[in-house]
């Protein structure tokens, strides 16, 4: 009933929207039934909504969603405590509560496999030397990861020789980075980091040091939100231009994702649009009545994913604003839906590893 083999045997972006809808609909409904049977708190909420679990193939937009903030207030899991393999915590500012996500081994493995299928469509299948714009300190606790640590660990699957660019004081270790690049001269390099940290602790420090690097062969994937970058009047275009100027890097992809749906990430294509792979999708809803928005209409972002089995996070309404731009016709050639993120809803808490770092 909840076997992901169908998805694992398809390319990460291998389905047209209509084909994906059929596959997601059945699986998400089965997840709803599973969590209804195994999580008492979820069952009570679904019963209050009087949702019909007998519908075999509902529209994806008909499957009930939970507000993502609920994971900050309630422990929601569909497994016994003895099966909890790892606990993930969302990013947040000091004094702000964090989401707790409970993973069993099966869910953790599915998340890794899905991430590989999605990201390799942008990076290629070969693992390459990896430069991480962060400090190794963030990975100290192996039993309970922050969203930042979980993201670094997840994306480390694509690196063959990891180098952390920041020292324990989170300052750029320029000699270490230069030695790493000399060792791998002429090779493809994979770089990962959070947007604000890349700007503050990599780009600005390189400028202060009057140093330049040769990263023309590199691919950079970054994420974690743009709120703090907007506060500094740094747009996406300015971010990309500045990094290219100081390091020659041309392939830069933002990603949209959250600890509540680890493994289901949405990557930015060369056209500047986020794409939903086969493991999940995005729905844009009107804040006034939660009906589905039309293409081009701004609303709240709902994310769905087939991966959360140990907890009921398969259909979540976020506090982010976005716009669905279309499906199956993006200029990059990837099938499926594509969208843009327009920022956070006003007066909501900051979240995201980039936006909350150091606050």
Kind of pairing between the strands at 274-275 and 266-268: antiparallel
- Give yes or no: residues 47 and 118 share one domain: no
Do 319 and 113 form a contact (C-beta atoms < 8 A)?
Answer: no
Cα separation of 181 and 52, whole Å? 57
Q: Which domain holds residue 213?
A: 104-256
Rg of the chain over CA atoms, in angstroms? Answer: 20
User: pLDDT exceeding 90 applies to what percent of the chain?
Assistant: 76
What 3-state DSSP class applies to 192? strand
Residue 183 has pLDDT above 90, yes or no: yes
- Give yes or no: residues 130 and 206 share one domain: yes
Cα separation of 320 and 48, whole Å? 26
Question: Which pLDDT tens digit goes with each residue over 223-272?
Answer: 988 878 888 889 999 999 999 999 999 999 999 999 899 989 999 999 99
* Token pair listed for 288: 């006034």
pTM for this model (two decimals): 0.89
Average pLDDT over all residues of the chain:
91
- Give yes or no: residues 115 and 252 share one domain: yes
Stronger pLDDT, 157 or 300, i.e. the higher one: 300
- Give yes or no: residues 252 and 284 share one domain: no
Is 97 a member of any domain? Answer: no
Model confidence at 122, pLDDT cuts 50, 70, 90, reads very high
- Give yes or no: residues 284 and 149 share one domain: no
- Give yes or no: residues 140 and 238 share one domain: yes
Buried b (16+ CB within 10 A) or exposed e, 47-58: eeeebeeeeeeb
Is 95 a member of any domain? Answer: no
Do 195 and 225 form a contact (C-beta atoms < 8 A)?
Answer: yes
- Give yes or no: residues 217 and 336 share one domain: no
Residue 357 has pLDDT above 70, yes or no: no
Residue 353 has pLDDT above 80, yes or no: no
Cα separation of 209 and 172, whole Å? 10
Q: What is the CATH number of the domain that holds 141?
A: 3.40.50
Give the pLDDT mean for 278-302.
Answer: 97
Question: Which pLDDT tens digit goes with each residue over 295-320?
Answer: 999 999 999 999 999 999 999 999 99
Q: Domain total for the chain?
A: 2
Is 323 a member of any domain? Answer: yes
Is 354 a member of any domain? Answer: no
Is 220 a member of any domain? Answer: yes
Is 1 a member of any domain? Answer: no
- Give yes or no: residues 226 and 134 share one domain: yes
- Give yes or no: residues 37 and 124 share one domain: no
Cα separation of 55 and 63, whole Å? 10
Q: Look up residue 202 and give its DSSP letter.
A: I
């Amino acid at each position: 009933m909840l076997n992901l083999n169908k998805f694992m045997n398809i390319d990460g972006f291998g389905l047209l929207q209509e084909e994906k809808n059929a596959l997601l609909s059945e699986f998400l409904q089965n997840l709803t039934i599973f969590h209804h049977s195994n999580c008492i708190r979820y069952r009570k909420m679904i019963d209050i909504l009087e949702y019909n679990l007998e519908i075999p193939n509902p529209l994806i937009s008909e499957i009930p969603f939970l507000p993502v903030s609920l994971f900050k207030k309630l422990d929601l899991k569909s497994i016994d405590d003895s099966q909890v393999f790892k606990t993930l915590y969302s990013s947040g500012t000091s004094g702000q509560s964090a989401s707790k996500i409970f993973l069993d081994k099966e869910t953790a493995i599915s998340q890794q496999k899905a991430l590989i299928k999605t990201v390799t469509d942008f990076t290629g299948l070969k693992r390459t030397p990896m430069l991480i714009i962060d400090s190794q300190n963030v990975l100290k606790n192996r039993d309970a990861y922050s969203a930042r640590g979980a993201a670094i660990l997840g994306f480390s699957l694509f690196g063959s020789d990891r180098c952390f660019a920041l020292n324990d004081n989170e300052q750029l270790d320029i000699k270490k980075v230069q030695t790493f690049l000399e060792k791998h001269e002429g090779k493809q390099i994979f770089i990962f980091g959070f947007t604000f940290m890349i700007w503050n602790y990599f780009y600005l420090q390189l400028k202060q040091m009057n140093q330049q690097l040769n990263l023309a062969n590199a691919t950079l994937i970054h994420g974690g939100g743009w709120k703090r970058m907007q506060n500094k009047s740094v747009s996406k275009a300015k971010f990309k231009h500045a990094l290219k100027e100081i390091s020659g890097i041309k392939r830069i992809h933002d990603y949209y994702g959250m600890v509540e749906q680890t493994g289901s990430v949405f990557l930015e294509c060369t056209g500047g649009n986020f794409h939903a792979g086969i493991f999940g999708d995005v729905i844009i809803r009107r804040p006034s009545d939660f009906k589905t928005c039309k293409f081009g209409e701004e609303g709240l972002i709902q994310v769905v994913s087939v991966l959360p089995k140990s907890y009921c996070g398969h259909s979540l309404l976020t506090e982010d604003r976005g716009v669905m731009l279309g499906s199956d016709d993006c200029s990059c050639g990837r099938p499926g839906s594509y969208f843009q993120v327009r920022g956070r809803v006003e007066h909501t808490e900051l979240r995201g590893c980039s936006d909350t770092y150091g606050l």
